[in-house]
Amino acid sequence: MTFHALVDLDGTITDPRPGILGAYRHALTSLGLEAPPADDLLWVIGPPLRHSFPKLGVVPERINDALEHYRAFYQAGAMFDAPVYTGMPETFDVLRAEGVRLILATSKPHVMARPILEHFRLDHHFHAIHGSELDGRNDDKGDLLAHILAEEGVDPAKAVMIGDRLFDVKAAQRHGIPSIGVLWGYGGHHELTEAGATHLCAAPDALAALVTAVRAGRA
């Protein structure tokens, strides 16, 4: 049976801070709202846009306007302002060589995730690329994983979810999939531990060995 690694994008493969925070601040100012300093917006990296904008003062009837401003700015180039974490391409090389099938599992719309992976020449590593829809479907990470399991024939007992936020951990738990919480992203040790991550990984160069251990039942 093929072993699958379901991999988050933002905060796991790439550091999206410059592009995402710039897009959020642009959307807020375009609506006439005050944009918090970038350092006060780090919490928005991970959750779906529709969940975060209300917490930033956007009223329900203006959420779609905020999304339009955000996406226009983001797709104009900010989406590529997200450097790849050192060691991730090499990790993917190792996992693929060991027969692990990689599937992208991001709350970001797949129409944005795919060109990001292509831009950084990472798309060839992935058997499939899955994300949310622009209309909000599969915004919830648990719903997204349900979609992936059905579409790709993934056996939860032969899979692992890799991500940096509690949303990745909770989604994996919902489907009985072990999780690896990565500590170089935006969740951090406390959030991932409290969420119940099965394993923690401190650095990209340790990730392939940990996935191999999970696959073999040694972790």
DSSP label at 81? -
Q: b/e per residue, 156-194, with b = 16+ CB within 10 A? A: beebbbbbbbbbbbbbbbebebbbbbbebbbbeeebbee
3-state secondary structure of 9: coil
Q: What pLDDT is attached to residue 168?
A: 98
Q: What pLDDT is attached to residue 219?
A: 73
Q: How far is CA 184 from CA 84, 164, 200, 204, in A?
A: 12, 8, 10, 8
Of 128, 134, 85, 127, give the one whose Cα is nearest residue 112. Answer: 134
Q: What pLDDT is attached to residue 218?
A: 81
Low-confidence stretches of the chain (pLDDT beneath 70): none
Whole-number mean pLDDT of the chain? 96
Q: What pLDDT is attached to residue 25?
A: 97
- pLDDT one-digit tens code per residue, 3-17: 999 999 999 999 999
SS3 content of the chain, % helix, strand, coil (to 5): 55, 15, 30
Q: What pLDDT is attached to residue 112?
A: 95
